[in-house]
Amino acid sequence: MQDIRLHREIPRNVRTVIMAFYGWTDAGDAATGAVEFLSRARNAEVIAEFDPDEFFNFTDYRPIVNVDDSGVRSLTWPQNRFYLAPGTDATEPLLLFSGIEPHLRWKRFSNQFVDFILECGVEHIISFGALLNAVPHTRKPYVNGSSRTPEIKATMERLGIARGGSYNGPTGISSVIAEACQRRGIGSSSFWGHVPHYIQTSPNPTIIHAILDTLRQSMGIGADLRELEGESAAFYEQCEEAIEEEPSMRQYVRKLEQYYDETEAEQQSGRPSSTGLITPGSPEFPDAQDLVDDLEDFLRRRPPFNGSSS
């Protein structure tokens, strides 16, 4: 673990780790936002972090310079950190990881990641992800899951969120780490939140809440989500106000609702679509990019949303 710097002694009794990475698999900052919410809610503290030198191209992801009130400058480098949430009478200790998908040496990064969590005693790894999808914000947020552990997979199937591995194409660092875990006897599960592609404001508290609530239902791991419920309601109202001021966007959302409801009815009748996803830009819909740009411009002009993953 030559590239991992310890902040404190490694815990030896943590059975589960939850991870998420900023970047390609983090639409609406929903995946990392969910980990960061858990970290705050469970009073987690940093215990270790990766040295970024071996894993980042700093001309693509530059360090940030900060100047404090007294004029002192400091640099902030890309951070990939492990956090420990202590156990209580009602909960087991939990290892959390939030970071930025590295540019370089994914195998080296993944192997050291697994080395570290094995030192902690981890038996199961959970990954969060979020993707843009043509789903309406007016329907219950969609989260799907998968697991290589039969008991957890059965629970996901009972909840109606299980999806098989039919995807073929480019993948993220979380999949590489999951493969490394499998080779070394660590179980893995994943939860993916589906973010309405026309609302790309970050963070998206509605999807953060949906991911964490689905985790609680599937695996019994959770936190008090009442704060997120309030933020989700406020975020929904803001989006509704924006859409009501844009007739073309309102019409687009209505068409999306109709298509979504028809697809859901087909799935419930035992005739699922080939992918289970609705693709933005599909023939059923006009190109919505101009509408998205208008909505994003409106939301940027609104007072800043004080989301949970600041």
Give the DSSP letter string of 114-131: HHHHHHTT--EEEEEEEE
pLDDT tens digits for range 75-85: 999 999 999 99
Q: Which residues of 185-195 are buried (b: 16+ CB within 10 A; e: fewer)?
A: ebbbbbbbbbb
Predicted confidence at residue 30, as pLDDT, reads 97
Which residues, in sequence order, are CB contacts of 195 under 8 Å at separation 6+? 27, 28, 30, 130, 131, 132, 133, 135, 204, 207
User: Of 206, 32, 17, which Cα lies nearest the Cα of 129?
Assistant: 32
Euclidean distance between CA atoms 113 and 3, whole angstroms: 10
Q: Six-digit token pair at 51?
A: 């040295």
Pairing of strands 81-85, 94-100: antiparallel
pLDDT tens digits for range 165-191: 567 888 899 999 999 999 999 999 999
Predicted confidence at residue 200, as pLDDT, reads 79
pLDDT tens digits for range 37-82: 999 999 999 999 999 999 999 999 999 999 999 999 999 999 999 9
pLDDT tens digits for range 252-281: 899 889 988 888 887 777 655 444 444 444
199 to 183, 240, 294: CA distances (angstroms): 38, 11, 11
pTM for the whole structure: 0.87
Euclidean distance between CA atoms 100 and 80, whole angstroms: 6
